[in-house]
Amino acid sequence: MAGNVTLTASMRTNLLQLQSTQAGIDKKQNILSTGNKINSALDGPTSFFSAKGLNQRAGDLSSLKDAMGQSISTIQAADKGLTSIDSLVDQAKGLTTAAYAALGNDAASVATRKSLASQFNTLKDQIDKLAADSGYQGKNLINGNGMSMDSTSASRAAVNSMTGVDNARVTNVITADTYSIRVKGDGSIEGKTADISKTENAHGFIGLKLSGTMSGSLGSFSDVQIEVRGANGRSRDFIVTDGDESRTISYFDNTQTIEAKLTTAAKTGSAQVSTVNVGGT
């Protein structure tokens, strides 16, 4: 049968002192085990949160130090590779010097150059392998993948704005001014019915036709054919702007005379302008 335990005042005082002493012992043991004077906010809020911030900063610096160590290892691997490659390049120089000294056409000179060429190719292969092996954790500062370029949005927009061309795709960019263009469209040119009718009414033409095919490859344009049949009794000036290259314009009307002359020569960025005088009775 359980009963209540009655403590005297002196016994209660001794018990509280023992509990306080044990709490102090536990706190000291915690300090000794963690190495931290302040282990919780209850021990000192200001010091605790300041120490927490410093610990996080130390962790960040430790991570940066590890990353720097990896970078240094990558550079050291590249440096060792370059040192070995430099030694092989010196050997290759010696082989080329020896080959230069044996430029004769006799059998001995030919055999010497053949042997030196074989040794040179062997050194070249060793240099390639050294460059490929001079990496660290997937990073290689020596062995590149070649130059890769892409067309600009302005270049693509300029190509797509060409008459008869749509959905242009610019690929295989080699340099800033050299690349391949693949276009969708036949590049055909033809006059609109409304424009032809307006021209015929304004200049007295009959049966005006405009047709041809345009290509934007290397500035090369196929022939554009213009056929004009004019009404009798009128003399007219017909100005034709053909682009950046000359074309042959043929008129078919036995009752008319034709005089053609170059007004403005074509050049880069400026189209050719020809003046054609059609006269007749």
Q: Which of 2-11, 131-140, 240-249 has the lowest mean pLDDT?
A: 240-249
CB atoms within 10 A of CB 116: 19
For residue 65, what are the CA distances in angstroms to 61, 136, 271? Answer: 6, 17, 63
Residue with tokens 């020596």: 142
Instruction: Encode 30-58: b = buried (16+ Cβ within 10 Å), e = exposed.
Output: eeeeeeeebbeeeeeeeebeeeeeeeeee
Is residue 151 predicted with pLDDT exceeding 70?
no
The tally of CA atoms less than 13 A away on the side-chain side of residue 67 is: 6
Task: Please state whether the predicted TM-score (pTM) of the whole model is above 0.75.
Answer: no
* Segment 218-241, tens digit of pLDDT: 444 445 555 555 555 554 555 555
Alpha-carbon distances, residue 177 vs 49, 150, 152, 227, 256 (angstroms): 60, 11, 11, 37, 47
Of all residues in the chain, the percent with pLDDT exceeding 70 is 57
Distance CA 279, CA 255 (A): 9
Mean pLDDT across 75-88: 89
Report whether 78 contacts 102 (CB < 8 A). no
Output DSSP code: residue 188: E
Statement: residue 58 has pLDDT above 50? yes
Nearest alpha carbon to residue 272 among 236, 240, 237, 244: 244
- H/E element holding 171? strand 166-175
DSSP string, 198-230: HHHHHHTEEEEEEEEE---GGG----EEEEEEE
Task: Summarize pLDDT for 23-35 with one digit per residue, the tens.
Answer: 878 878 877 777 7
Residue 219's pLDDT is 45
Note the pLDDT of residue 229: 54
